[in-house]
Amino acid sequence: MPDTIATGLIASEIHELKNFGGRLTALGVNFAVCDFEGRPLLFCKTGAFETDPARLAKIACDCLKHPDKKNKSQDDSSAAGRYISSILVPLTGEKKQTGIAVVIDLGNTPDMNNQQQLHSLTELLRLFVEKFIAGRKSVEQMDMISSELAQTYEELVLLYKISTNMEIVEPDANFLQMACDSLTEIVGVEGIAILQEKTVDDKSRFVLVAGAGVIDIDDRTTPLLHSRLQDELNKGKEVLLDSDFDGSFKYEWPKNIHNIIVVPLTSKVKTHPSQDTGYKQPLTARVIGMLVAINRLDKPDFDSTDAKLFTSVASECAVFVENNRLFGDLKELFIGSLKALTRSIDAKDRYTRGHSERVGFISKWIAEHLAEDEGLDQEQIQKIYLAGLLHDIGKIGIDEKLLCKVGRLTAKEKNRLRMHPSIGANILSGIRQMRDIIPGVLNHHERVDGKGYPAGIKGDQIPLMGKIVGLADCFDAMTSERVYRDTMSVDKAIAEIENRLGTQFDEKIATVFLKSDILHLWDLMQEGAVKTYGSDDFTQYGSAAVGTLIT
């Protein structure tokens, strides 16, 4: 019966060896599986004779140390008997501390000493060992494939995570840091960093924008990395790989670096037609950043698999950086258009110059103070700001003489002037991205008592945006010089708003405004006094606000 002493094999292999040993004991021989020191891991015996443990250990050790003797019978003159041995797992490692051999002890039975029986058992053992080794290799290959699939899956998840987090309104540094953190979750490195090309003091240079682990990159290192990476790219390589694993580096590196990978973040550069041919030259790649990692932790060097993964991540990062740059250009274009548009409105009436900017600013102030009670998020606040900025856009369709007329307006002139909210709404309705701010433009002259225009709606029929912009418009109008009256003081404007609660102005909104620090608001509104307000420059139209429209 099988007698298991110890095991260094997996369960399925032990089961297979036990079955084979059982078949051999039925044939009247003993069977043992021994480790590299000759210790039995599995011993199956017939009970008809005893196997000498010392001799068994010697046979197993000789078999492992002298593979040429495997599958051969061995005579023992000091103790009658014969053995057949073979290697299951060869000796491995520098100190040869692993290895497994199988041994058949034929004992001293006369039937086991004939050549035919010996040959049959030798062949039987050979076939079993071949089958066992083939099965072991299959298991190892399956484990390797499983490991590779798991690694590939993790890499795909990483790339998916990076690609799905490409929100172009997010700052570069946030996205690139997320890429670094995600990459270190599946690749063990001592340090990782992303450098991005930026203009500092009117000079282009690579700046550290994201990183993880321990990596030392200073002003001297960055141009060195770029120069060496460019050398490799010029040689037709896609990445810079360098290591001391094979004896020496290609380049000289700090002592703490044992292996390094540098991958470019590239942008396609547009080219002008050639002066000679008139045809455009192919797009060329320009390095706009670098992904750098040092000292692989779980293997001696970065390899081609790492290079492919790092290249894929760098490509995603480059796309994000380039898209963010293009988005920034688009925002600047859009901001410039808004600026030109609002100034063209204000330019029609010298008394209302700057009015649009101030109404946008006041509208945002009111919205921020209402945010908690009304559940307004930042996107809604920014759209209210833009509605205030563009509330008078319809005045483009009103005659300049009417806008600047001194004296009382006729009924016809009043009706014409009161068309500007509708004109503005019609202008914006043709721009899909502007449709969310139309309620503020269309309704900023409506009153809660229903005596406003253009529709004469009242109370809750007036959208919140319209009520906010209307209040902001009136406050600025009161405190600004007009052709028909002098400037009103802030205190008097506050008193006027209080008198009109529940008639012209929504009581809740106006009360929140009156409880805010209006004197501080007034100080911010004075010419030259406002530098920044939150994240927006008062003289520039907030990038965040524009971002709500074009994303």
**Tens digit of each residue's pLDDT (9 = 90 or more) over 112-170:** 556 778 888 889 999 999 999 888 888 777 777 666 666 666 666 666 666 666 565 56
**pLDDT band, residue 549 (cuts 50/70/90):** low
User: Residue 457: is its pLDDT beyond 90?
Assistant: yes
H/E element holding 548? none
Residues 139-172: b if buried by 16+ CB within 10 A, e if exposed? eeeeeeeeeeeeeeeebeebbeebeeeeebeeeb
Q: Which CATH class name applies to 347-547?
A: mainly alpha
Average pLDDT of the segment spanning 230-242: 91
How many Å apart are CA 350 and CA 541, to the nearest integer?
21
CATH superfamily membership of 172-323: GAF domain (3.30.450.40)
The pLDDT value recorded for residue 178 is 86
User: Residue 535: is its pLDDT beyond 60?
Assistant: no
User: 420-456 pLDDT, tens per residue?
Assistant: 999 999 988 888 878 899 999 999 999 999 999 999 9
Average pLDDT of the segment spanning 324-346: 76
User: Residue 93: is its pLDDT beyond 70?
Assistant: no
User: Residue 281: is its pLDDT beyond 60?
Assistant: no
CA–centroid distance for 43 within its chain: 56
SS3 call for 384: helix
The residue ranges of every structural domain in the chain are 2-138, 172-323, 347-547
- Given a contact cutoff of 8 angstroms between Cβ atoms, the answer to whether 63 and 84 are in contact is no
Average pLDDT of the segment spanning 333-361: 76
User: Residue 80: is its pLDDT beyond 60?
Assistant: no
Between 71-75, 254-258, 278-282, 453-457, the lowest mean confidence (pLDDT) is in 71-75
User: 487-504 pLDDT, tens per residue?
Assistant: 788 999 999 999 999 999
pTM for the whole thing?
Answer: 0.54
How many Å apart are CA 462 and CA 359, to the nearest integer?
18
Between 29-33, 172-176, 186-190, 459-463, the lowest mean confidence (pLDDT) is in 172-176
Q: Quick one: three-class SS letters along 452-501?
A: CCCCCCCHHHCCHHHHHHHHHHHHHHHCCCECCECCCCHHHHHHHHHHCE
Residue 137 Cα distances to 126, 143, 386, 463, angstroms: 16, 10, 68, 73
Average pLDDT of the segment spanning 384-397: 90
User: Residue 534: is its pLDDT beyond 50?
Assistant: no
CB burial of residue 239 (10 Å; 0-12, 13-18, 19+): buried
User: Residue 71: is its pLDDT beyond 50?
Assistant: no
How many Å apart are CA 303 and CA 129, to the nearest integer?
35
Residue with tokens 């009156």, as numbered in its chain: 514
Between 137-146, 160-169, 337-346, 360-369, the lowest mean confidence (pLDDT) is in 160-169
Phi, psi values for residue 455, rounded to 5°? -100, -15
Work out the mean pLDDT of the chain and round it to a whole number.
81
N-terminal to C-terminal alpha carbon distance within the chain: 76
Give the pair of three-digit tokens for residue 35.
Answer: 């480790």
User: Residue 531: is its pLDDT beyond 70?
Assistant: no
The DSSP annotation for 294-337 comes to: EEESSSSS--HHHHHHHHHHHHHHHHHHHHHHHHHHHHHHHHHH
Show Cβ contacts of residue 181 under 8 Å, excluding neighbours closer than 6 positions: 212
CATH number of 2-138: 3.30.450
85-94 long-range contacts (CB < 8 A, ≥24 apart) are 85/59, 85/60, 86/125, 86/126, 86/129, 87/63, 87/129, 88/33, 88/129, 88/132, 88/133, 88/136, 89/136, 90/64, 91/36, 91/64, 91/65
The pLDDT value recorded for residue 8 is 61
Question: For residue 341, what is the DSSP state?
Answer: H
Question: For residue 537, what is the DSSP state?
Answer: -
User: 393-422 pLDDT, tens per residue?
Assistant: 888 888 888 887 877 889 999 999 999 999
Question: Over pLDDT 70: what percentage of the chain?
Answer: 79
Question: For residue 28, what is the DSSP state?
Answer: T
Out of 259-268, 327-336, 506-515, give the one with best mean pLDDT: 506-515
The DSSP annotation for 62-91 comes to: HHHH-GGGTT-EEE-SSS--EEEEEEEEEE
User: Residue 79: is its pLDDT beyond 50?
Assistant: no
Q: Decide whether 2-138 matches 347-547 in CATH topology.
A: no
Angle at 136 between CA 141 and CA 186, to 5 degrees: 35
